[in-house]
Amino acid sequence: MALETINPQTKLEADVVIIGSGAGGASVADVLTKAGIDVIMLEEGPSVPAEQAPETTAKAFTVAWRHAGITAALGRPPVAYGEGRCVGGGTEINAAIFQRTSDELLAEWAQRFKISEFSPEAMKPYYDRAASVVNASLTQGPPGRPTDILIEAGRATGWKTSMLERSQRGCVGTNACPNVCPTGGKQSMSRTLLPQALNRGLRLFPDIRVRNIRLENGQAAGVEAEARDGSAQYFVRAKTVFVCAGAIQTPALLQRSGIGGAIGRTLQMHPTFKVIAEWDEPVNAHLHRHPLAAITEFMPNQRIGGSVFSPGTFALSLAEDWENRKNLLQRWQHFGIYYGMIRPRGQGAVRALPILRDPLVSFRLTHGDWQNLTEISGRLGEAMFAAGARRVIPSITGHPGWTTMAELRRDLPLKLPPGRTNLMTVHLFGSCPMGENTQACAVDSFGRVGGIGNLVVADASLIPEAPGVNPQGTIMALAFRAAEAWLAQGARNVSAAA
Ligand SMILES: Cc1cc2nc3c(=O)[nH]c(=O)nc-3n(C[C@H](O)[C@H](O)[C@H](O)COP(=O)(O)OP(=O)(O)OC[C@H]3O[C@@H](n4cnc5c(N)ncnc54)[C@H](O)[C@@H]3O)c2cc1C
């Protein structure tokens, strides 16, 4: 990819500046550059091409993840979360599972959030386009033992299990998804939409962090930015600003720019509970593709699936309770990491703080969410034993684990202690929900920020609620839609003003 470096002397100007190069930003760049619009894209993180993919997850954390992967939403319990921070954003480090939000949920959102021109039929072409870009497809050949474990669990419990489509082209199964794909088999944004947009004239500058959007006479006039290491400052003038910095950074950036209201008040996520499970025979999960199946019997409110496994990610799981679990490291080839994920009703918030670079993020689970988590955690344990596990250890600090199904069942319903239960998520959304329902929405049906005609949000922030499925496909679909809506209206304004 031909990326550019900003010379501080250069006066940068474009019709559109896009902040962020992830699923949302790349999809906007695709639409706009195809229409011949002059676009600059600023990305806080570095470019990490396949040839330079870090060899270990620990190294990848420092290169391609925000804050080396150590970020948490405050609450009881706090929820650890992960965000990409590199060219291509989260799509470079994600597991590449491609899913569509169900038609029922899309129809419900259209009604409840009063989203104009939004229906399952209207969204289908956008989803189809996203699926085609990333070549969403089932993996050919034997999926490997970590997947077989979930399939066996589904068979033994009678719970519905589904194979998952992934964004892939010639994936050889290095099992290094969180490290940035070393072969380019994962069809992330740096392998698909970004190089195509660069060929059409996109100017993409990595390592540049936007501090705030400059408003003049109530309109966006451009963005104030700095080199990530703070060594240089820039102003990029633009007639329209697309904010695609992700569900945490987008609201923080808007708030830093003086835009408040409902922005950032309704953060959503998929809280996720993990277990490590041990088998008598080696699983050798590090040698196989990460689990490509999920137990979907309890969707959309609960899903059971599996995580990428490496010695490093296993050691991280043990680190939750190192004193009690460190001896398990010797048998690491016998373990797998599996999760239960819920679709919550609780909400969180993102608040930019004066002086500080990072926002305060919080999330509050409702009583119902906690019950949902309790239930899925028990089911997750049952699934593991049904697939022949000899020991299952939940992500609860100080918990000794169970060695039989009978032992687990005696503990059901599980009492998850809020102070010792470790939750995490890699799915964040809903911080600027779209729609015309002014009670619930922060931006209009197409991502336009209220009253500011030339400022548009187009990323995970728009998804009004937790979709219960992996979100990248929905983010791309919504970003295509927002960019096309802007073209239909905004492009006329650009040419009129020129
Ligand atoms: C480990 C992991 C696994 C996942 N697995 C899956 C999966 O299998 N399937 C799926 O569908 N989803 C998955 N996801 C989620 C998915 O990747 C994200 O939902 C998606 O990438 C979000 O898209 P986005 O455009 O909203 O934000 P991002 O893709 O996060 O892009 C935002 C970009 O903006 C940049 N940025 C932020 N602030 C600024 C600023 N001030 N100035 C300049 N640039 C800025 C960031 O550096 C980032 O690159 C996973 C995520 C992670 C972290």
374 lines ligand 1 (CB under 6 A): no
Q: Which residues pair with 215 in a beta bridge?
A: 220
Q: What's this model's pTM, rounded to 2 decimal places?
A: 0.97
Q: Which of 167, 189, 191, 426 to mutate to test the pocket of ligand 1 (most atoms within 8 A of CB)?
A: 426
User: Which residue's C-alpha comes closest to atom 46 of ligand 1?
Assistant: 85
User: Which residue's C-alpha comes closest to atom 15 of ligand 1?
Assistant: 427
131 lines ligand 1 (CB under 6 A): no
For residue range 62-88, what is the model confidence (pLDDT) as tens digits? 999 999 998 999 999 999 999 999 999
Q: Which ligand 1 atom lies nearest to the CA of residue 249?
A: 38
Q: What is the pLDDT of residue 323?
A: 93
Contacts of 385 (CB under 8 A, 6+ apart): 392, 402, 404, 405, 408
Query: What is the pLDDT confidence band of residue 282, given thresholds at 50, 70 and 90?
Result: very high
Contacts of 112 (CB under 8 A, 6+ apart): 437, 440, 464
Q: Residue 366: how many CA atoms within 13 Å on its side-chain side?
A: 11
User: What CA–CA distance (Å, rounded) separates 232 from 320?
Assistant: 39
447 lines ligand 1 (CB under 6 A): no
24 lines ligand 1 (CB under 6 A): yes
Q: Is the pLDDT of residue 496 over 60?
A: no
Q: Which CATH architecture has domain 1-47+99-133+190-265+430-498?
A: 3-Layer(bba) Sandwich (3.50)
> Rg (Cα) of the chain, in Å, rounded?
22
42 lines ligand 1 (CB under 6 A): yes
244 C-alpha vs ligand 1 centroid, how far in Å? 9
Q: Which two tokens stand for residue 497?
A: 């003003």
User: Which residue's C-alpha comes closest to atom 50 of ligand 1?
Assistant: 94
84 C-alpha vs ligand 1 centroid, how far in Å? 5
Q: What is the pLDDT of residue 91?
A: 98
Closest by CA to 339, choosing from 445, 425, 257, is: 425
Q: What is the pLDDT of residue 493?
A: 58
Q: Compute the Cα dihedral for 144, 145, 147, 152 and give only its sign.
A: positive
379 lines ligand 1 (CB under 6 A): no
Q: Which of 81, 91, 250, 267 to mutate to test the pocket of ligand 1 (most atoms within 8 A of CB)?
A: 91
Q: What percent of the chain has pLDDT over 70?
A: 98
Domain residue spans of the chain: 1-47+99-133+190-265+430-498, 56-79+137-184+271-426
User: What CA–CA distance (Å, rounded) separates 273 from 281?
Assistant: 25
Q: What is the pLDDT of residue 6?
A: 75
Closest by CA to 379, choosing from 344, 346, 342, 343, is: 342
For residue range 367-397, what is the model confidence (pLDDT) as tens digits? 999 999 999 999 999 999 999 999 999 999 9
For residue range 427-459, what is the model confidence (pLDDT) as tens digits? 999 999 999 999 999 999 999 998 788 999 999
Q: Which of 127, 167, 177, 249 to mutate to test the pocket of ligand 1 (most atoms within 8 A of CB)?
A: 249
Secondary structure class of 84 (helix, strand, coil): strand
Q: Which ligand 1 atom lies nearest to the CA of residue 211?
A: 41
Q: Which ligand 1 atom lies nearest to the CA of residue 244?
A: 25
294 lines ligand 1 (CB under 6 A): no
Out of 5-9, 196-200, 326-330, pick the least confident: 5-9
Q: What is the pLDDT of residue 2?
A: 74
Q: At what angle do helices 472-497 and 23-34 cross, to 10 degrees?
A: 40
Query: What is the pLDDT confidence band of residue 239, given thresholds at 50, 70 and 90?
Result: very high
Q: Is 286 a catalytic residue?
A: no
Q: Which ligand 1 atom lies nearest to the CA of residue 65?
A: 53
For residue range 481-494, what is the model confidence (pLDDT) as tens digits? 999 999 998 655 55
For residue range 152-189, what is the model confidence (pLDDT) as tens digits? 999 999 999 999 999 999 999 999 999 999 999 999 99
270 lines ligand 1 (CB under 6 A): no
Tell me the CA distances in angstroms from 436 to 182, 206, 384, 444, 452, one per residue in order: 43, 35, 44, 6, 15
Secondary structure class of 140 (helix, strand, coil): coil
Q: Which two tokens stand for residue 54?
A: 């870090």
Q: Which of 61, 86, 87, 94 to mutate to test the pocket of ligand 1 (most atoms within 8 A of CB)?
A: 94
User: Which residue's C-alpha comes closest to atom 3 of ligand 1?
Assistant: 94
Count, residues in the chain: 498
